Amino acid sequence: MQGRRMKTKTVAIVDNDSWTISALRMFLNTKLPSAEIIWSALSGQEALEKIGEEPRPHVLLVDMSLSDMRGADVIRRIRRYDQTVILLAITAFPLEQYAMRASVAGAQALISKRYPKQIADSIDAADASWSGPDVDGVPFQTAKQAFYRVSAEKLSGIESLTTTEQRVVELCAQGFTSVEIAHTMGNAVATVNTHLRRALDKTGARNRTQLVAMWVRNQSMR
């Protein structure tokens, strides 16, 4: 239609604050009319499911401090199998707090939520050859460069677990019993115990206590 700019780039947002998602959506619709927000997610798990099922965006904004999992984990899991989506990490905290985590996980940039124009400018500039500026001396790679590095990393320990297995172990670490985990996740107790057995096999943990200790250690290193 004459007078209306064609949508040339698709964007998705994952943030546990619905107000932030609404604010970003309104700002981007106004300041970056060439971009289309195709979906949003309020949790890391929801984002991982949507990026596998919904139309894949050109750019995904990932909050670094989600409620259900770390933003860096969302970025790493996507980057491990995808070399095209531009992953922009965003945070309301000082950038240096997350710079290394975001870069190592495979993000193309880290941007403060306090500066939405920088977010819009980054989305506008983002393409296959783009990466954002260094943050506190930490460089960022293009999507393809990050993909080759992250996908080559050998999975071991907690990192080798599926999303569901990690969720089960996380609930174990919070003191949930198998029955409580089954109720929380909407699964049968037998299914939960199957996930636990697989997690024990993959990690080499001798029992649930050691598995939880490995989980806690893994989280403290992120």
Give the whole-angstrom CA distance, residue 222 versus residue 128.
27
Give the per-residue pLDDT at 2: 46
Give the per-residue pLDDT at 102: 96
pTM for the full model? 0.74
3-class secondary structure, 81: coil
Taking only the tens of pLDDT, the chain with its 222 residues reads 444 556 789 999 999 999 999 999 999 999 999 999 999 999 998 999 999 887 899 999 999 999 888 899 899 999 988 999 999 999 999 999 999 999 999 999 999 999 999 999 999 999 999 999 999 999 999 999 999 999 887 666 777 788 889 899 999 999 999 999 999 999 999 999 999 999 998 888 889 999 999 888 877 655
Give the whole-angstrom CA distance, residue 6 versus residue 35.
9
Q: Which domains does the chain have, with CATH numbers?
A: 9-152 (3.40.50.2300), 157-220 (1.10.10.10)
Residue 41, class by beta-carbon neighbours within 10 Å (0-12 exposed, 13-18 middle, 19+ buried)? buried
Give the per-residue pLDDT at 8: 84
Residue owning tokens 């860096």: 72
